[in-house]
Chain A
Amino acid sequence: SYVLTQPPSVSVAPGKTARMTCGGNNIGSKSVHWYQQKPGQAPVLVIYSDSDRPSGIPERLSGSNSGNTATLTISRVEAGDEADYYCQVWDSSSDHVVFGGGTKLTVL
């Protein structure tokens, strides 16, 4: 089955740029979606189809996807961005939704 690999944690100072990766075999050929989950809350879709933002999501959040790595980038990081972030794809070979293990973003 298809595996998505995310670093367990990323730390960044306020105002800096955070980059969170999502690795998978030829993930660039798939459509990647990203979710933000704050403690005690349901996840929220923040990036879909590699780089599109749902309405209401700030432009500071952006996504890219190429080769074996997809990346979620948060510019000008704020304290409110502290959360767990999950990447997700559809694996057509198994007809399964697949999530990465998640990355905890800590704002220093």
Chain B
Amino acid sequence: QVQLVESGGGLVKPGGSLRLSCAASRFIFSDYYMNWIRQAPGKGLEWISQISSSGSSIYYADSVKGRFTVSRDNAKNTLFLQMNSLRAEDTAVYYCTREALTAEFSLDNWGPGSLVTVSS
């Protein structure tokens, strides 16, 4: 079945940078929109970013706009999230998610998540 595996999380100091990757397999990656979702410890889900199947259309949440950049490499079936100017409030588990083809904007597959901790 569909597989999404995030990597690149870890501990980073405030103001620092981190790049998350999401390796996708067992589906035609280039056909699908992808989204990043995060969840702070003990909190709810927060949408971060959406990227279209070709990468030509990208949207960001206001909380990360100008600091985070989403991209994808369809040849390598990989989604990326470049996170700069990190703040303590960016501490969260970051999920890579696939948007369903036939159900408008629903997220039908999620990776296990990657923990990002921003702390001095």
Contacts and interface: CB of A to CB of B under 8 A. Distances in A.
Interface of A: 1, 31, 33, 35, 37, 42-45, 48-49, 52, 54, 84, 86, 88-90, 95-102
A71 B95 CA distance: 25
The A interface, classified by DSSP as helix, strand, loop or mixed, is strand
B61 to A, nearest CB: 7
B91 interface: no
A77 to B, nearest CB: 22
A45 B112 CA distance: 14
B45 A86 contact: yes
Task: Give the 5 A-B CB pairs with smallest separation, nearest first.
Answer: A90-B105, A97-B47, A48-B103, A48-B106, A33-B106
Give the interface size class of chain B: 20 to 34
Given A48-B108, A49-B106, A96 B44 contact: no
A59 B35 CA distance: 28
B103 A35 contact: no
Nearest to A97: B47
Contact of A42 (B106, B108, B110): B110
A33 B107 contact: yes
B28 to A, nearest CB: 19
B112 A88 contact: no
